[in-house]
Amino acid sequence: MKGFWMIFLFLGISTFSILSQTVVEPNQKFVWETFSFVFPEPVVVKLESTTNKKLTIYPAKRDGFFMVVRTLPWNEPLMEKVLWKESVFTRGIEPKEIQKTVGNRNFQVFQADQIRNQNALRNQVWISLDTKPALWIWIQWKSDRKDLTEFFESNLFLPL
């Protein structure tokens, strides 16, 4: 029976999905894959192991936003763009779709406000158009945090 528990413990540890957690200070460049990010305040960055590579970013000190960054498994992510909008913007208010260029990279950006759990939220999904693998970024922040609105809508999180 002891051998069973040792095998179970080993398998449980080896399949654990969080590979690492890192605290990143404000305006410190964080490099993941071939992409760089900066954040407006101290954050915890979790590198997770899934079939696709994934980062989850949370504020370290106060509530207000989170980000999920993934690489996409296909070459043309816009083929399924309606599904991406619906998966993120449940009952989105005034959804918009715009194209942005940051540095030498082009992104399709889907944006909508949302009310969730009595919080007014702003959502953006960024999909890279010209990188392989494709990059998918979901950002959600509280609308009353004007500092975050300026930071994310001015593309300051992508120091390309």
CATH of the domain at 73: 3.40.1000.10
pTM for the model? 0.78
pLDDT digits (tens, 9 = 90+) for 127-151: 887 877 778 899 999 988 888 999 9
Phi then psi dihedrals of residue 81, to 5 deg: -60, -30
Residue 137 included in any domain? yes
DSSP for residue 28: -
Q: How is the beta sheet containing 119-128 ordered, strand by strand?
A: 18-24, 43-48, 54-59, 65-72, 134-142, 119-128, 105-116, 93-102
Residue numbers of the domain that contains 103: 17-153
Residue 5 included in any domain? no
Residue 1 included in any domain? no
Q: For the chain, what is the mean pLDDT?
A: 78
The tokens describing 127, both together, are: 């999909």
Residue 63 included in any domain? yes
CA dist., res. 138 & res. 109, Å (int): 10
Residue 126 included in any domain? yes
Helix or strand or coil: residue 149? helix
37-57: burial string, b at 16+ Cβ within 10 Å, e else: bbbbbebebbebeeeebbbbb
Q: What is the pLDDT of residue 57?
A: 94
Residue 10 included in any domain? no
Q: What is the pLDDT of residue 10?
A: 39
Work out how many domains the chain is built from and give that number.
Answer: 1
Residues 6+ apart with CB under 8 A from 128: 77, 105, 106, 107, 134, 135, 136
Residues 6+ apart with CB under 8 A from 5: none
pLDDT digits (tens, 9 = 90+) for 31-45: 988 889 999 999 999
Residue 82 included in any domain? yes
Count of positions (residues) in the chain: 160
